[in-house]
Amino acid sequence: MEDDLMQNTNLEQDFLLFLKEIQGYKEALALMEWDSRTISPANALESKADVIGFFSTKIHKLSTSKKMGDFLKELKKKSNNDVLHEIIRVCEEDYSRSSKIPAEEYQEFVTLQSKAEIAWQEARNKNDFSILSPYLQKLVDFNKQFANYWGYEDQPYDALLHEFEPGMTTKKLDAIFSKLKKDLVALLTEIKHSTKDNHTFSLNESFEKNEQNDFIVYTLKKMGYDFNRGRIDETIHPFEITINPDDVRITTRYDESDFRMALFSTIHEAGHALYEQNIDKKYANTPVFDGASMGIHESQSLFWENFIGRHPLFWKNNRDDFLRNAPKSFKKVSFDDFYKQINEVKASFIRIEADELTYCLHIILRYEIEIALINGELKVEEIPKLWNDKMEAYFGIRPKNDLEGVLQDIHWATGDFGYFPTYALGYMYAAQLYQKASEEIKIEELIEENDLIQIKAWLSEKVHQLK
């Protein structure tokens, strides 16, 4: 009896050490990714693609190894520990999906991902979609093949969705998105024809980035972002990345003629970072140390960006602090006008700059194109035209070039199909969380008192710590 228990404990420890080894490679990869996207010299990227391929393949091999299979089989019989149970569940899911992709094919895919990202950058520099197009076609083909390996009941796209939002299906999304699209297009048209609230002033005054930074750091500290376990750097595309539980980094992009860019994107990324900084450490060094799904992750960033950061009560409290460094002309703008401008609704080309109302339309457009690609109804070279046609139909504006259209996002170039819908789902989850927070912690009073830490604590308890 005692021997059995002893063996069991050793098995658990060996398993956790094995997971730690895999996690070590993941940490190295994350650091490389952060480096590539922030400070790495441009010419270093191509040779780094092979190293990234090497590390990713190593992770894939370990995660699908016989050793992993044996651990899972043995531990499943013996373990009655809740934490371990959860770790086993996640590892099994990963093992089952990853094992279905042959190792050589996987390595080819990850190397292609890195190369396609470089091609995407070049295509953007030259404003020429044809540079990316052959890579994209191969990535679509890989995704179709993966969907076949993973299997699906209804649509191949479901198998891809599962990677980012387990349990979500095309059928459910079709129903949600078709209603949302109809209502949003109608609302946007109405707003376009409205003559109310035409601004006579501009918030696009020159606002030096160091001056902007003060208010950003102040806001992040109020939210509870731990600067001893994170840092902020500058990139073209802001992102959050977790190196390990005590190193959760974010990046931002300053626009000196529009402070809204850096401020709201940093609050957004900090929302992701708060999630990662507050996951229960009992899951550290295992694949459970991650968001519950991409949609839930996005709910956290959007919750802070739009439901808190654009709330009138947040600005009632913080506007004076903000104005201290802001251009003088801002001081003349009335509170109402200021508030309306940071919540302005306007049809625009770029998703990450979109307002709350039009954002989901950007996602629906991408979702419809992805489905057509994966179902083989659309060829890659036909994307730009279809993209622009949809922009015209939903937003009433047509991109002048592919930078304003299909080349703006990195997701397809990194082979991620089925990811975009999680952004729109995140919005819907965030709205529901806000509703719940109104009932449980009187959230508006907390915003009014500028007690954002209590809001973070509620989110940690109800979202960050749960699996």
176-186 burial, b at 16+ Cβ within 10 Å, e below that, comes to bbeebbeebbe
| Distance between CA atoms of residues 373 and 367, nearest Å | 10
| Distance between CA atoms of residues 35 and 188, nearest Å | 40
- Least separation in angstroms between residue 3's CB and Zn ion is 50
Which span sits near Zn ion by CB under 5 A: 160-168, 259-267, 294-302, 334-342?
294-302
Q: Which amino acid is at 255?
A: D
Nearer to Zn ion, 57 or 301 (CB): 301
CB nearest Zn ion: which residue? Answer: 301
Which span sits near Zn ion by CB under 5 A: 38-46, 219-227, 293-301, 432-440?
293-301
Cα dihedral: 204, 210, 215, 216 (round 10): 90
Nearer to Zn ion, 60 or 310 (CB): 310
- Least separation in angstroms between residue 265's CB and Zn ion is 9
Nearer to Zn ion, 63 or 265 (CB): 265
Would you call 269 a catalytic residue per the annotation?
Answer: yes
- Least separation in angstroms between residue 419's CB and Zn ion is 11
- Least separation in angstroms between residue 132's CB and Zn ion is 23
| Distance between CA atoms of residues 122 and 367, nearest Å | 25
3-32 positions binding Zn ion, by CB under 5 A: none
Which span sits near Zn ion by CB under 5 A: 54-62, 107-115, 301-309, 366-374?
301-309
Using DSSP's 3-state secondary structure scheme, residue 70 falls into helix
Which residues of 1-96 form beta strands (DSSP E)? none
The CA distances from residue 271 to 14, 303, 311, in Å, are 35, 7, 15
> Is residue 36 near Zn ion by the rule CB under 5 A?
no
Is residue 433 within 8 Å of 461, Cβ to Cβ? Answer: no
Which span sits near Zn ion by CB under 5 A: 75-83, 299-307, 342-350, 389-397?
299-307
How many residues belong to the site for Zn ion (CB under 5 A)? 1
> Is residue 301 near Zn ion by the rule CB under 5 A?
yes
Nearer to Zn ion, 285 or 408 (CB): 408
Evaluated on CA atoms 299, 390, 347, 413, the torsion sign reads positive
| Distance between CA atoms of residues 232 and 250, nearest Å | 5
Q: What are phi and psi of 169, to 5 degrees?
A: -130, 160
> Is residue 285 near Zn ion by the rule CB under 5 A?
no
Nearer to Zn ion, 301 or 388 (CB): 301
| Distance between CA atoms of residues 113 and 124, nearest Å | 16
Which span sits near Zn ion by CB under 5 A: 32-40, 280-288, 298-306, 325-333?
298-306
- Tell me the chain's radius of gyration from C-alpha atoms: 23
- Least separation in angstroms between residue 294's CB and Zn ion is 9
Nearer to Zn ion, 170 or 301 (CB): 301
Is residue 77 within 8 Å of 125, Cβ to Cβ? Answer: no
Distance, first Cα to last Cα, the chain: 33
Q: Which contiguous run of DSSP H or E holds residue 394?
A: helix 383-395
The catalytically annotated residue of 269, 305, 368, 370 is 269
| Distance between CA atoms of residues 193 and 289, nearest Å | 48
- Least separation in angstroms between residue 459's CB and Zn ion is 15
Is residue 441 within 8 Å of 165, Cβ to Cβ? Answer: no
Nearer to Zn ion, 326 or 430 (CB): 430
- Least separation in angstroms between residue 432's CB and Zn ion is 17
Give me the active site residues, please: 269
- Footprint of Zn ion (CB under 5 A): 301
